[in-house]
Structure 1
Amino acid sequence: FEGISEKQLISQLKNTGIDGVVTIVLLDKNKEQSYVPGKVRYEPETYYIRRSRFYGYYATYNRRIYTPGYYETNTKYFFETNLYDISRNKLLYSAQSESFDPSSVESMADKQSKAIIKDMKKKELF
């Protein structure tokens, strides 16, 4: 809503019959680097050892397989959601939330909106 004042915007919203507005603001975005340690796993292997023409035996040993450690970077997003009653010019609801390394903007928006709606219902706003 560039080029329009808050009063003009509220007046336009009231004139169109809108009585409430939800705003969502990105407050902060942090990148964190963390180390994921390496792992060792063991895989058993069995083989046959022949001692002579007539007999042999099976032996088993465990192979060690190393997975090296690595660094990963994760992003946290911090949001603030507000619900305003335009007719009474009153803030009805405010919540801060965070999202951790979303796979996409759409999935993040979907999860955030569902969590906010659930919280609003819990607080009996509708």
Structure 2
Amino acid sequence: MRRYLALFLLTTLMSCSSTDTVIVNSWKDPDSNAAKEQFKKVMVVALVKDDKTRRDIENTIVDNNPIFKSSYSFLNGAKIDLTKEQRLSILKSENFDGAITMRLVNMEKETYYVPGTYNTMYYGGMGYGYGYGFDNWYGFYSPDFYTPGYYQESTTYLIETNVFSLNQNKLVWTGTTKSTNITDPETTTRNIMIEVVKQMEKDGFLDPKRK
């Protein structure tokens, strides 16, 4: 595998599906790509208030490659009130050259109607009674039945993922995903990263040839 693809070493994840997460939009700096940046140490920052959720999200990404480092290990506790200049200075002193941030942009509740369905049983002839138990035989003469429709509510989350070059101090890629049917932060984060990698390849930020 090419060295610069170490930025997102998610080959295993790419074999999974993420039907509940889709890319809404994305943007790439025209002068940047992963090959040019050659990231060697990347800070991962989950911008959420809950500390456990923050750690779960960051650890899910960090587990994919040793060049990823969680923000709570470097920018936590007494460092939380530092200015952005002071935080940037810490990152540079620790030789970070890239950063990935993930934040919730919007959350919406959607209500939709699931229509009812008709189920028609087969009306067989008397000859079909031979060799069948009573429950099977009686089923041939059961009337049509209808499953009524119902309303169902789901919550949609718009999550923004950004990639920054710290050496250039600029945004080099950003994308927004829409996720539904969220069960836990780790699964959702994996699904987001799957779609992010796919979109990065489409945008030309990552080389699609993983060899």
- Higher-Rg member (1/2): 1
Alpha-carbon distance in structure 1 between the residues aligned to 2:143 and 2:171 = 64
**Aligned pair partner of 1:28 in 106, 110, 117:** 106
Q: TM-score, normalised by structure 1?
A: 0.80
Which residue of the partner structure matches residue 165 of structure 2?
85
Q: Aligned residues: percent identity?
A: 29
Residue by residue over 1:2-59, the C-alpha shift from the partner in whole angstroms, topping out at 9 and shown as x without a partner, is 211111111111111110001111000111111111111101143639xxxxxxxxxx
1:1-126 equivalences under 5 Å are: 1=75, 2-46=80-124, 48=126, 61=141, 63-126=143-206
Distance apart, 1:119 and its partner CA: 2.1
Q: Which has the higher helix share?
A: 2
Task: Say which SS state the counterpart of residue 74 (structure 1) adopts.
Answer: strand
| Count of aligned pairs between the two proteins | 116
Residue by residue, what CA displacement relative to the aligned partner does 1:62-119 show, whole Å, maximum 9, x if unpaired? 6211111111111111011111111111111111111122233222110101111232
**Residues 99 and 108, structure 1, Cα contact 8 Å, conserved in 2:** yes
Give distance in 2, aligned partners of 1:101 and 1:10: 36
Structure 2 alignment gaps of length 5 or more: 1-74, 128-139, 207-211
Q: What are the ranges of 5 or more consecutive residues in structure 1 without an aligned counterpart? A: 50-59
4+ residue runs over 4 A deviation? none
CA RMSD of aligned residues (A): 2.1
Q: How far has the Cα of 1:61 moved from its partner?
A: 4.9
Q: Compare relative contact order (CA 8 Å, sep 6+) and give the higher one, 1 or 2.
A: 2
